[in-house]
């Protein structure tokens, strides 16, 4: 079923702050098997010009994905979440995410398309720090595959 | 940001060191916990088959996290990545054995941009098939 085009441009309220913990960064870096010292050693991170340990580039997705949950599960939008697959993902960084950041996410529906019965939803996440500065913008394309004919 | 590679030392076509990343069922369970993505298609083969997949598949975001390492290991500073985007074209199927699957990633400089930035185009293969499309990163070099 085609999604309601009037949702394009809709922005959802910012999420409560997510505090980025250094042990969470370590856990994530270990899970992706990345031994870079800037993720676990503050000295190594500082030697590269960072204020504290930084997070791997895709770390922030865990936060923006949770924020987008509110959008994709908005009953008025009518997305069949059981048929959704992740189509595209993009990140544009102003600076890397680092330990101690308190991040809020503002999600916006960038686009809605219907292609061959598939619903395609683009959700932007603007991630700000406690000072209100933009840290990273994420773009997630979700594709809800057409339901099979009964 | 302190990349270890200088802008002047690279040309369009410069190849980055390729890497191969193993992905096992255990790695997917660990990634599920670390990322908070507990979708059962990434750890429960019965569920995966019921929704039409050949077997358990890797999280797309796991593959995305591996692929960028070709750029971050080369540049030396993961914080030098300015933009990164991929399209998930094919799933990485992970069999239930001790070997799992292999993700082979290569990359080359596709464009030199302003402000010491370059665009790197990445190719990620599993079983010889592309698992990421339009996989591009912009990184700021020294």
Distance CA B81, CA A84 (A): 29
pLDDT of residue A80: 82
Task: Please report whether residue A28 resides in a domain.
Answer: no
Number of CB pairs < 8 Å for A and B?
Answer: 102
Q: How far is CA A82 from the centre of its chain?
A: 19
- Taking only residues 89 to 118 of chain B, the set having a beta carbon closer than 8 angstroms to any beta carbon of chain A reads none
Comparing alpha-carbon positions, the chain A residue that sits nearest to B22 is A33
- Put simply, whether A90 touches B (Cβ < 8 Å) is yes
Torsion from C-alpha of A6, B84, B118, A126, nearest 10 degrees: 50
Residues of A with Cβ-Cβ distance to B88 under 8 angstroms:
85-89
Contact across the interface for B83 and A61, Cβ inside 8 Å: no
Helices A22-31 and B25-35 meet at what angle, rounded to 10? Answer: 160
Local confidence pLDDT in tens for the 150 residues of chain A: 578 889 999 999 999 999 999 999 999 999 999 999 999 999 999 999 999 999 999 999 999 999 998 888 888 888 887 788 899 999 999 999 999 999 999 999 999 998 888 999 999 999 999 999 999 999 999 998 877 654
Residue A33 C-beta-side C-alpha neighbours within 13 Å: 19
Structure-block tokens of residue A144? 């809800």
- Who among B2, B36, B134 is closest to A48 (CB)? B2
* Cross-strand partners of A90: A139, B85
Task: Please report whether residue A139 resides in a domain.
Answer: yes
In this prediction, residues B32-46 reach a mean pLDDT of: 96
pLDDT of residue A150: 40
**ipTM, interface predicted TM-score of the complex:** 0.97
- Which of A123-134 are b and which e, b meaning 16 or more Cβ less than 10 Å from the residue's Cβ? bbbbbbbeeeee
pLDDT of residue A15: 97
Structure-block tokens of residue B55? 């077997």
**Shortest distance, CA B72 to any CA of chain A (angstroms):** 9
Task: Please report whether residue A96 resides in a domain.
Answer: yes
Task: Please report whether residue A30 resides in a domain.
Answer: no
pLDDT of residue B1: 65
Structural domain containing residue A76: 5-20+59-144
Residues of A with Cβ-Cβ distance to B81 under 8 angstroms:
57, 93, 96
- Taking only residues 24 to 63 of chain B, the set having a beta carbon closer than 8 angstroms to any beta carbon of chain A reads 27, 30-31, 33-37, 60-62
**Shortest distance, CA A135 to any CA of chain B (angstroms):** 11
Distance CA B16, CA B1 (A): 19
**How many domains, chain A?**
1
pLDDT digits (tens, 9 = 90+) for B103-112: 999 999 999 9
Task: Please report whether residue A36 resides in a domain.
Answer: no
Task: Please report whether residue A90 resides in a domain.
Answer: yes
Structure-block tokens of residue A88? 């595209």
The CATH number covering residue A76 comes to 3.10.129.10
- Taking only residues 20 to 39 of chain A, the set having a beta carbon closer than 8 angstroms to any beta carbon of chain B reads 24, 27-28, 30-34, 36, 38-39
pLDDT digits (tens, 9 = 90+) for B62-116: 999 999 999 999 999 999 999 999 999 999 999 999 899 999 999 999 999 999 9
Task: Please report whether residue A65 resides in a domain.
Answer: yes
pLDDT of residue A148: 64
Task: Please report whether residue A39 resides in a domain.
Answer: no
Full set of structural domains in chain B with CATH: 7-22+59-140 (3.10.129.10)
């Amino acid at each position: 079923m085609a999604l309601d085009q009037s949702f394009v441009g809709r922005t959802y309220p910012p999420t409560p702050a997510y505090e980025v913990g250094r042990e969470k960064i370590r856990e994530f870096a270990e899970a992706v098997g990345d031994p870079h010292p800037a993720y676990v050693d503050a000295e190594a991170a500082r030697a590269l010009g960072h204020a504290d340990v930084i997070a791997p580039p895709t770390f922030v997705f865990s936060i923006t994905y949770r924020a987008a949950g509110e959008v994709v599960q908005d009953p008025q939008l009518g997305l069949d979440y059981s048929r959704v697959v992740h189509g595209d993902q993009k990140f544009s960084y102003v600076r890397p995410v680092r330990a101690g950041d308190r991040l809020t996410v503002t999600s916006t529906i960038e686009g809605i398309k219907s292609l061959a019965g598939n619903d395609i939803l683009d959700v932007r996440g603007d991630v700000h720090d406690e000072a209100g500065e933009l840290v990273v913008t994420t773009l997630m394309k979700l594709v809800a595959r057409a339901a099979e004919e009964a | 940001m302190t990349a270890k590679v200088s802008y002047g030392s690279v040309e369009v076509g410069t190849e980055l060191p390729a890497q191969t990343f193993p992905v096992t069922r255990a790695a997917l369970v660990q990634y599920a916990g670390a990322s908070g993505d507990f979708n059962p298609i990434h750890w429960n083969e019965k569920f995966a088959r019921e929704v039409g997949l050949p077997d358990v598949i890797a999280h797309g975001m796991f593959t995305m996290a591996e692929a960028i390492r070709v750029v971050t290991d080369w540049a030396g500073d993961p914080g030098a990545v300015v933009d990164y985007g991929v399209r998930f074209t094919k799933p990485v199927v992970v069999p239930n054995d001790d070997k799992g699957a292999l993700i082979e990633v290569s990359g080359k400089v596709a464009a030199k941009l302003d402000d010491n930035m370059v665009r790197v185009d990445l190719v990620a293969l599993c079983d010889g098939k592309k698992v990421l499309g339009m996989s591009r990163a912009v990184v700021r070099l020294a």
